[in-house]
Amino acid sequence: MLELDTTTVDMFVRSKPSIRTLGQQLDTRLARLLSALGQSEHLENSLRIVRLLTSSWRDEVVSAGPRWSSDITDDHSPFEFSLALDGNSEVLRILTEPQDLEQPSLRASWRLAAAIHDELATKWGAGFAGYDKVAALFEPTDTDEGVFSIWHSAILGKAKKNEFKVYLNPAIHGAADAERLVSEALGRLGLGKAWQALSKIALARGGLDQVIYFSLDLADAAGARAKVYVAHRHATASDVARALSHCPGFGLHGIGRWCQHLLGSGGPFHDRPPITCFALRRAELDLYTTTLHLPVRCYAPDDFDIARRICTLLRFPQRVSYMRALTELAERPLESGPGLQTYASLRASPGREAITVYLAPQVYLPARVRDELRGSFFSSSAASTRGLSI
């Protein structure tokens, strides 16, 4: 990230005059997001959660650059926020990756995650019954070369209870083994038959439809979910619609309209692919929810344009909350390019509709972007919303 002088940081970050470490970057952004959402009273609890999840790299100086190429974000920042807007509330979440800064590796991240799990279980009541059944399938070996081994997510701010999730890499032993790995994991959870039926449709295009993430709620309740994420490479809106054809709330017309609106066309999408997420609950055999994730950063000129498109999908109060959060997180003009908002997701399952925007902190700005933004980097947030009707 750019070297910031004390005066500028005091004006822009409204925090400590020196924000040198990853932990300080995260904490400052979290405080601003919760303030924008009117949830500052939950900051202390949220900080306790994120400091546990990020303890392995919090003290790393940003100017040293990323020691591990985290796949969470484009610039390898090891955390990402997301804002879920379900019509009645705004829920802030975070996704993080444990990293060993001295000797980073897939196995090191897995080892650090075990210590985090102990703390989540003893201090936060997280449940690991489901995870324990499948963990061995996804544990990395010394020869594995996946882009990640394990991530964690948590709900922050105003939530009824603390909720945590773990993300595992189906391609940890090679992309060719991903589908089999997920099928076996769901079988161990008693969800094998449900996925067998879904996969015939979700993976109908062979190698172009690829299982890329597998996640579990860290809870032992009957309603705990297992989620399978499928990337639809070089897909059209029609291809995505066929993959979701048996999912309530989705239809060809709606998916085509969302793709046209948020991605600018009906495809095919040759850059980053649309992703579908299928959630199954361990107490049931039927599909619980389905979510469509659209990679907005690849198909829009800048974050201002993305915000304009997303605002039209929100009710007025949530437009206000979304734009407040977005401009508080941004440390550059929204018009200067894309990347702050990475995905927009639509959950159309009846009774559980929601729109979620994924927000990258951009702690490590690419050199090209840094050079382009030098001189205009500290434009006010208010200027970044010029002309945007909320």
pLDDT, one tens digit per residue, over 225-281 is 999 999 999 999 999 999 999 898 898 889 999 999 999 999 999 999 999 999 999
pLDDT category at 9 given cuts 50, 70, 90 is very low
Burial category of 238 from C-beta neighbours within 10 Å (exposed 0-12, middle 13-18, buried 19 and up): middle
Residue found under tokens 């401009």:
327
pLDDT in tens, 358-378: 999 999 975 445 444 444 333
What own/partner pairs with CB < 8 Å and gap ≥ 24 does 23-28 have? Answer: 23/51, 23/54, 23/57, 23/58, 23/59, 23/60, 25/1, 25/62, 25/361, 25/363, 26/50, 26/54, 26/58, 26/79, 26/361
Owner of token pair 């996804």: 138
Provide the domain limits for residue 263: 6-378
* Dist CA 281 CA 296 (whole Å): 29
Look at residue 350 in the predicted model and tell me its pLDDT.
80
Tens digit of each residue's pLDDT (9 = 90 or more) over 335-349: 999 999 999 999 987
Domain for residue 59, yes or no?
Answer: yes
In-domain check, residue 238 = yes
In a domain, 262, yes or no: yes
Q: Is residue 127's pLDDT more than 90?
A: yes
Residue 387 domain-assigned? Answer: no
Q: Decide if 383 is inside a domain.
A: no
Q: What is the SS3 assignment for 209?
A: strand
Quote the pLDDT of residue 160: 65
Say if 385 falls within a structural domain.
no
pTM of the full structure? 0.90
Say how many domains are in the chain: 1
DSSP letter at 376 equals T
Q: Answer whether residue 82 shows pLDDT above 70.
A: yes
Residue in 296, 286, 202, 278 with CA at minimum distance from that of residue 240: 202
Return the H-helix or E-strand segment holding 51.
helix 43-53
Question: Pick from 161, 275, 291: which is nearest to 218 by CA?
Answer: 161
| pLDDT surpasses 50 at 384 | no
Show the tokens assigned to 126: 């997280």
User: Is residue 384 a part of any domain in this protein?
Assistant: no
Q: In the prediction, which pLDDT does 205 show?
A: 97
